[in-house]
Structure 1
Amino acid sequence: MQTLIQSALHKLQSEKRQAVEAYCARRQVPVFFERHTQAVERALAVLWTALFSDSTMCLLATGGFGRGEMYPYSDVDLALVSPEPLTEKQQEKAGIFVQALWDMQLAPAVKSGSVEELCESVCEDITGDTAFLEARFLFGNHDLAKQLLQQLDLQRDTSAFIEAKMLEMQQRHAKSQGSGALLEPNIKTCPGGLRDIHTMLWLARVQGLAMPLTTLISQGVVTRPEAVMLLNSHKKLAAIRIDLHLAAGRSEDRLIFDLQTQVAENMGWHDDEHRIKSEKLMRVFYRAGKTVMQLNGILLPMLRGRVYSQAGRIVCRIDDDYYQVGNQLAVYDKKLFTRRPEHLWKAIGILQTRKDILTLAPKTLRNWWAASRKINRAFYGNPENRRRFAGFFKHGEGLTHVMRFLNLYGALERYLPAWGKIVGLLQHDLFHIYPVDDHILTVLHNMRRLAMDSRSHELPFASALMHAFEKQHILYLAALFHDIAKGRGGDHSIEGVADARRFAADHFLSKEESSLLAWLVENHLLMSAVAQKEDIQDPDVIDSFCERVETQERLTALYLLTVADIRGTNPKLWNSWRAGLLENLFHAAARRLAGESGSRTVVVGRRRQGAADQLTRAGTPEKQQRKLWQALGPAYFVRHELREILWHTANLVHQTEAPQVRSRILPDSGTLEVMVFMPNQPRLFARLCRIFSRHSFDILAARAFVTEHGYILDTFIVQLPPGRAAADYPNVQSALEAEINNFIHGCDTTAGHTACGIRSRRSRHLPIAPGVHLSAEQDSPGWYTLEIVAVNRPYLLADIAEVLSEQEISLRYAKIATLDERVEDSFVLFSPHLENPKKQLALKQALLAQLSA
């Protein structure tokens, strides 16, 4: 038997290798499936002849093997059927058969038993029942196979099967909504993946509709263009899955970062000046998946409706052209959209304004989609169409649903050609997790939620501003256009302005509305950059920001767009600490725009007076307060906001020369604020950063400050370790405080911890180039600003600080911006010897070496 297995294994491996070589040479997916399936069948035939040639049993191919869709490392789904329950001898042979399949490296998934047993086994197993739906006779007793399949058909409840598969698909899609799902999608189970195609075919097959698709065309279930689109999408997705298996050398259905580049290269893509090969691969994948989802919206309801067509339906007339059937919109004349294209937008307008209508009826959707593919310049040039499109935004309610629908079915990119360039376009910047079109629509969704009364509890301050804002439709349009110029190679904020202005002129916006829209598109990154990268406690920073903003209307609009944008970029980026940064900047700018003095003297006086009032209420003597003010110095009140000042001074006023550490958990954010006060020493900042990294804290923000009497007063905002429950936070906080407390009192626990840490798979396979920019501050000899962009990793900030210390550079201020796996940090440095160009070059080289480690 072993000799037989070895011989069959060698032949199988040779035939599979030939199938792979032929595929790599010609890339013919159907041919690969056929050759691979036949190779497996020939191997099975050898085993069947050796073990069951004189048996009354039969062997069926089920599941993917049954439908002939065998990938390089697919399981081999089989059913071993006997007329009666297996005897002991038959069970022994079945065990030998299954083991032989494993020895031949075929990964078998075998069901065995009598007809009655197998029928009973799938009664409550929708997956098993589905596998038998695609069963195909291989060897043995043909009449027995026919008996099993007939019995399964008789006991199968068609309507229950359809409902179960629809629910299964919904649950599968829900599991694909995590932040990593779009970056590393499962090509088999994600929305628009291969399993969605299979679901359409299962719903047809369970109703007795003949295959293949060409037959379904003649039966009026699928149109010829739909069949072509479905076949093309299947070929693209199947090709990616074949290459994914080959690149992984195993059964792997996730397009993980580790394999994306190799798969893209194997499929013939190459890097160019605009796109890397993995981006090209993923864009093809997203577009193929989008087509499957488009067809899903038509074919699944249509196939489902065939079973329920006899059920009573509630039909209501809307007007001469439209009627409502259930919760769907239908048309009397199936050629309405072709004859009168303006109804393409009119139908969507009804969908938006009628809350009792959720979608278009399948046949209406099919005709709407076919007509929408003819949207052109003439359609755009019709003023009525432009008014209706602008009306979607002015109405507001249901806008997200409308725009997602138009994007899914390609109407948005045909109406706005610039949109087509961003569909499925990935952003490999280590913090965006959505393709550009999905990101924009998520930002639009976030903006709409701010306007909804039912969602005002989520972000009360932003919602209150949104409700009071008169030009909400401009905010929706700003969300639509803010990233529309991504991927063109230039500054998308600048290039998008022309698109926004053209749209405004064509869609009857007033001069003021057009100006606000263009300004928001051009400056949509301004508030985020200032809040996260600059010292917003500095009055000069606020003055500069207000010079760009100019009006309260612009400030409010920009704040709302920034909130919606950050929340639509990556769920990891939004927390109460980052929200507080934006809100603080908004209030500071609003006071300045309202005429409040912003001179340093006034600001320092106001913040110092606020701290003095608190200390006085607490009974702190004025003499003690003056001692604290003298130790901190006036620069302290410029660098820190009042909230921090009140916290610091309450802890420091009675111990201005005693080292101490204090921390507090910030509400609703999963972040911890830590204050460290101790005599200044070399490398202190770096050693403190190492303590945080060793405790698995991610440093989101850091403020390094040296007092007038030579102490450091460093404040850190750190992300609590991932995977820890809120109930564990106090314990984590206590452990961190204890170690820092030991450190500030002379017990240095940081020695020997020099590891660079492990980068994420995403950053290893889709890295960004590190950037170092050093600039001298005007009118301040010896003072410099250092800006760094790099991949985030443990110990990164500590390693940067170590470089500065080795170069004998004094770190006076740090502003850390951690954006998921990307950092954009800025530092204020003091070092007179940096006037020497060679010293500057040495610093940059040392930093780049560390950032690239």
Structure 2
Amino acid sequence: MTLSPDLAEAPDVRVAVAGALRAQYDAGRARAFRKLEGGAGGVEVARLLSQAADEMIGTLWAFTTEVLYPAPNPTEAERLAVLAVGGYGRGVLAPFSDLDLLFLRPWKTTARTESVVEFMLYVLWDLGLKVGSAVRSVDESLSIARQDMTVRTALLEARWLVGDQALAEGFLTKFRTEVGRADPRAFIAAKLEERDARHQKAGAVRYKVEPNVKDGKGGLRDLNTLFWIARALAPESPLGERVMDDLLTSRERRSFEFAFDFLWRVRAHLHLSAGRAVETLSFDLQPEVARRMGWRGRGDEPAVERFMRRYFQVARDVGALTRAMSAKLEARHQKTALSLSRLLPRKSRKLGVEGFIEDAGRLSVTGPEVFADDPVRLIELFVAADAHDLDLHPDAYAAVIRALPTVSPSLRRDPRAAAAFLHVLAHGENPYRALTLMNETGLLGRFLPEWGRIVGQTQFNMYHAYTVDEHTLQAIRVIADIAAGRLRDDHPLATEIVHRIADREALFLAMLLHDVGKGGERGQLEDGAIAARRACERLGVEGRRIEQVVWLVRHHLALSDYAQKRDVSDPATVRAFAELVGDPERLRLLLVLTVADIRAVGPGVWNSWKGRLMRDLYGQVEALFRGEALEHADPLAEHPGLLEAAQAEGAAVEVRAPEARVKGPADADESLHVTEVAVAARDRPGLFADLAEALAASGADVAGARVATTDDGWALDVFQIQDGTGAPYGQAEARRLPGLAAALRTAALGRSQVRALEIQPVSRRRAAFEVRPVVMIDTATSPRATVVEVSGADRPGLLADLARTLTEQEVSIRSAHIAAFGERAVDSFYVTDAEGRKLTSEAALDRLQTALEAVLEEGPPLPSGPPLIRARASARDVSELKRRRRRRPGVSSAAEAG
């Protein structure tokens, strides 16, 4: 396409040119997008987008240099070429990628050169494009590339676009000659260090449930790094093909090409779904990208979870490719001793295990026949890696992958293989690293089929930060850290009792298998127990230990359920939990398992408030097992003088904020994550609701609440509160505490006029989840109250709305227990009628359930903007919850777990 010379006469030339180019550019991009929607490959679409940019820039160049600033016979100094560099130089673009350009001149700039560059850049900016540009001479470009590895990387992929082709090709020849003569080790080391820093910034764990497609571990940049290294080793070879063919097998090349195409396709759909350049596959975008890419749900697994499972499988393959290429580079001594000092100089030594050697500081094998001769060595390899504190050499890594077909049913039942596996799991020095390596090679899923079904499995909710398999491995790491004393300050009780556990293998087996039932037709817990029994029997585990593991898997949520959603000050609750647990050994196992499970859900999920609740329940059940009597806790005794002050003044408020100074581990204050406020006032209908509304209006999140009433009609309501970040309320701004106390006192006296909360639309990220509301009523757990558990989308003021509804239904609240699991809130209330009796009328209970469900259905408005696909992320959680509470008698709940 050419632009009409008449555009030069337009009142605003730039606007006119930009308008004409926009039509051309949009048409080219539209062709690419139609291809994408038709199922074309990601690389094909990326090349079409790059081609559209090439054509647009070519048209702009022709108009600028032939119409606006013509030079039929340019002087030597006026020569100018435009090169595409970086990813654009490689000929691939995402829908909203930057255009990286180098305007190359022979030496000093001229007036015409400045005019051409300036006009072109302004027009590109007028088009709304993000342009990364540099204007340099040949010598400047060569000089900077020698010193700056980022510039060298960009130029490795440079190609001529328009302008003086001889100037461009002459420069590229000089540059590639210099690169070919240079020692490549410094460049390779710099790229690998850059990759590590990028991983650390984007998230060092490959299996984060909101991955960065471009910069995350297992993303496009990792594949680009391999490209760059290949180009540095063979700068004259197009796209480094010669080196890639040398460093990767044909199978690895196919894997590389599939991963590259898949990730480019994901990135293109991601940009179009967001309408801008975003690289993080966030929750709000995952369902739309899955839909665009043609994924459909299967059984209980939604389309978005199936798509994300495939994504993480590809990310794992990218990791394997990186290791494979590293192996070849190490063999060729291409890495510097400076950046990889533990790898060079290459040394090897025997380890006393036939077939295994230490090679340049990593564990390797003498040859592929090692596993063919004895497949048990596949497992023993990881035992040796753990025992000698060695990472796996890429050669050994590749050998394991090639040997996976030898993992047969007979190997899975081989006593030697089982003993080796259980040793590294329960007695290894670093079981997380050993099992992670087994998982990434694919061996763990082959050897343990129950594990294989959760590899890469995601749970589409805001609560879990990792895939199911990565969460489980993180939990195993937490147990190992607790046992080693590394988490003593955070978990003093768990650190003490872990060494009193008699059966360490049962603990680690239960942790490994606790989530293998996720997504099962019978529910996570029942299917998990069945799968755990099958796995343990295949491993030849002794019968008594199997029963212990199966029980732990079936009940691994019980401690968190009771502690967070039941009144643990009630002796009936403690007795019920003690009856479920049965003996002190299971109590110890369950505590350590629960701590590790919650902590491994993701950063910030565990806090000392949860620790306090679990510690209190543990202590009471342990006392019961010792034969000590249980007493109902008296909240009035915990706040001496407050009731008397209220009787004198009508209402009184006491605020207990945690001290700024943290105590030592011996007397660790596990209430540090909440501020406690106690309100004493004359009891009346709606008192709790009024107080909850005052708290919500003050920006306080309620973590827990208890209510006590005297025989003469005075009430004490105690709330544990936090701010929106999960810190104790008022810790960041102490000046908020007096105002909160005053608001609560006014509310207690019935004088408050709390303005209705202005409910803002939820964020698009949170709005992606359609949380199904559930209300369950339990008349059996407590002898004195009915337990009402409500579960639905969390929002500001939800507790106040629920409390108001309970008041309207003429229900009195004895205690409230608040929990949040990402986008879902789970609130439990112990309630009675106005006379303090349990609710038993089926008609009244049905009315109550209907009214509470209506509150949960309200929810905040959805965000404005482009249409949002909402995935029913919690459908499986809800079915699990209902499955565990089919009858009104019994215990909860919605799962906090991994």
TM > 0.5: yes
Partner of 1:38: 51
CA distance in 2, matches of 1:312, 1:180: 30
Listed as ranges, the matches of 1:608-647 within 5 Å are: 638=632, 640=634, 646-647=637-638
Instruction: Give the counterpart letter for 1:850 in structure 2.
Output: V
Instruction: Give the counterpart letter for 1:11 in structure 2.
Output: Q
Listed as ranges, the matches of 1:701-716 within 5 Å are: 701-716=704-719
Q: 2:153 aligns with which of 107, 124, 130?
A: 130
Q: CA deviation at 1:147?
A: 4.0
Q: 1:51 aligns with which of 52, 59, 64?
A: 64
Instruction: Give the counterpart letter for 2:810 in structure 1.
Output: E
Q: Which structure has the higher relative contact order (CA within 8 Å, separation 6+)? A: 2
Structure 1 residues 459 and 541, CA gap change in structure 2 (3 angstroms) = same
Q: CA deviation at 1:710?
A: 1.6
CA distance in 2, matches of 1:807, 1:245: 49
Partner of 1:452: 484
DSSP-derived class of the 2:640 partner: helix
DSSP-derived class of the 2:708 partner: coil
Instruction: Give the counterpart letter for 1:802 in structure 2.
Output: R
DSSP-derived class of the 1:572 partner: coil
1:456-509 deviation per Cα after TM superposition (whole angstroms, max 9, x unaligned):
344222111112323222211111011111112322222222222233233333
Q: 1:785 aligns with which of 782, 787, 790?
A: 787
Instruction: Give the counterpart letter for 2:346 in structure 1.
Output: R
Residue 417 of structure 2 is aligned to residue 389 of structure 1: no
Partner of 2:311: 285
Partner of 1:728: 732
Q: CA deviation at 1:126?
A: 3.5
Residue 679 of structure 2 is aligned to residue 676 of structure 1: yes
Instruction: Give the counterpart letter for 1:664 in structure 2.
Output: R
CA distance in 2, matches of 1:676, 1:27: 64
Question: Which stretches in structure 1 are left out of the alignment for 5+ residues?
Answer: 604-637
DSSP-derived class of the 1:502 partner: helix
Q: CA deviation at 1:64?
A: 1.2
Partner of 1:851: 856
Partner of 2:135: 112
CA distance in 2, matches of 1:263, 1:337: 41
Instruction: Give the counterpart letter for 2:585 in structure 1.
Output: E
CA distance in 2, matches of 1:304, 1:41: 39
Structure 1 residues 440 and 723, CA gap change in structure 2 (3 angstroms) = closer
CA distance in 1, matches of 2:759, 2:309: 34
Structure 1 residues 430 and 140, CA gap change in structure 2 (3 angstroms) = closer
Listed as ranges, the matches of 1:127-276 within 5 Å are: 127-153=150-176, 154=178, 158-177=184-203, 182-208=208-234, 210-211=237-238, 215-216=242-243, 218-219=245-246, 221-276=247-302
Instruction: Give the counterpart letter for 1:768 in structure 2.
Output: V
Structure 1 residues 240 and 194, CA gap change in structure 2 (3 angstroms) = same
Q: 2:323 aligns with which of 297, 303, 325?
A: 297
Tell whether the 8 Å contact from 1:335 to 1:367 is kept in structure 2 after alignment. no
Instruction: Give the counterpart letter for 1:848 in structure 2.
Output: E
DSSP-derived class of the 2:734 partner: helix
Q: CA deviation at 1:95?
A: 0.8
Listed as ranges, the matches of 1:296-375 within 5 Å are: 296-303=322-329, 306=332, 307-308=334-335, 312-319=345-352, 320-355=354-389, 357=390, 359-375=391-407
DSSP-derived class of the 2:281 partner: coil
Partner of 1:663: 655
- Which has the higher mean CA deviation after the structures are superposed, 667-676 or 412-421? 667-676
CA distance in 2, matches of 1:68, 1:135: 9
Higher helix share: 1
Instruction: Give the counterpart letter for 2:657 in structure 1.
Output: I
Listed as ranges, the matches of 1:828-843 within 5 Å are: 828-831=830-833, 839-843=844-848
Tell whether the 8 Å contact from 1:77 to 1:110 is kept in structure 2 after alignment. yes
1:267-310 deviation per Cα after TM superposition (whole angstroms, max 9, x unaligned):
11234541222222222211211211222223235336531489
Structure 1 residues 712 and 67, CA gap change in structure 2 (3 angstroms) = same
Structure 1 residues 340 and 180, CA gap change in structure 2 (3 angstroms) = closer
Q: 2:36 aligns with which of 15, 23, 42?
A: 23
Tell whether the 8 Å contact from 1:758 to 1:793 is kept in structure 2 after alignment. no
Q: CA deviation at 1:195?
A: 0.9
CA distance in 1, matches of 2:782, 2:773: 29
Partner of 1:77: 100
Structure 1 residues 413 and 577, CA gap change in structure 2 (3 angstroms) = same
Aligned-residue CA RMSD in angstroms? 2.8
1:161-215 deviation per Cα after TM superposition (whole angstroms, max 9, x unaligned):
2222212211221123399993332211111111111111112211226455764
Instruction: Give the counterpart letter for 1:82 in structure 2.
Output: R
Q: CA deviation at 1:373?
A: 4.7
Structure 1 residues 690 and 78, CA gap change in structure 2 (3 angstroms) = same
1:283-339 deviation per Cα after TM superposition (whole angstroms, max 9, x unaligned):
221121121122222323533653148963333222452221232112222432234
CA distance in 1, matches of 2:569, 2:501: 27
1:765-812 deviation per Cα after TM superposition (whole angstroms, max 9, x unaligned):
12220101234469989x533111112111000011111222332223
Q: Percentage identity across aligned positions?
A: 29
Q: 2:639 aligns with which of 648, 664, 667?
A: 648
Q: CA deviation at 1:556?
A: 0.6
Tell whether the 8 Å contact from 2:256 to 2:321 is kept in structure 1 after alignment. yes
Q: 1:516 aligns with which of 548, 561, 568?
A: 548
Structure 1 residues 101 and 430, CA gap change in structure 2 (3 angstroms) = closer
Q: CA deviation at 1:111?
A: 1.2
1:83-140 deviation per Cα after TM superposition (whole angstroms, max 9, x unaligned):
0122233112201011122234443221112123334445564433321121112222
Instruction: Give the counterpart letter for 2:449 in structure 1.
Output: P
Question: Which stretches in structure 2 are left out of the alignment for 5+ residues?
Answer: 1-7, 72-77, 338-343, 659-668, 859-898
CA distance in 1, matches of 2:210, 2:769: 12
Structure 1 residues 235 and 442, CA gap change in structure 2 (3 angstroms) = same
DSSP-derived class of the 2:752 partner: coil
Structure 1 residues 157 and 145, CA gap change in structure 2 (3 angstroms) = farther
Residue 470 of structure 2 is aligned to residue 465 of structure 1: no
Tell whether the 8 Å contact from 1:757 to 1:794 is kept in structure 2 after alignment. no
1:658-716 deviation per Cα after TM superposition (whole angstroms, max 9, x unaligned):
42111223446432111111112332222222222223222111113332222221111
DSSP-derived class of the 1:94 partner: helix
TM value normalised by structure 1: 0.89
Tell whether the 8 Å contact from 2:456 to 2:469 is kept in structure 1 after alignment. yes
Tell whether the 8 Å contact from 2:206 to 2:217 is kept in structure 1 after alignment. no
Residue 743 of structure 2 is aligned to residue 739 of structure 1: yes
Listed as ranges, the matches of 1:404-553 within 5 Å are: 404-553=436-585
Structure 1 residues 838 and 453, CA gap change in structure 2 (3 angstroms) = closer
Tell whether the 8 Å contact from 2:636 to 2:708 is kept in structure 1 after alignment. no
Tell whether the 8 Å contact from 1:200 to 1:300 is kept in structure 2 after alignment. no
- Which has the higher mean CA deviation after the structures are superposed, 665-674 or 644-653? 644-653
CA distance in 1, matches of 2:530, 2:683: 52
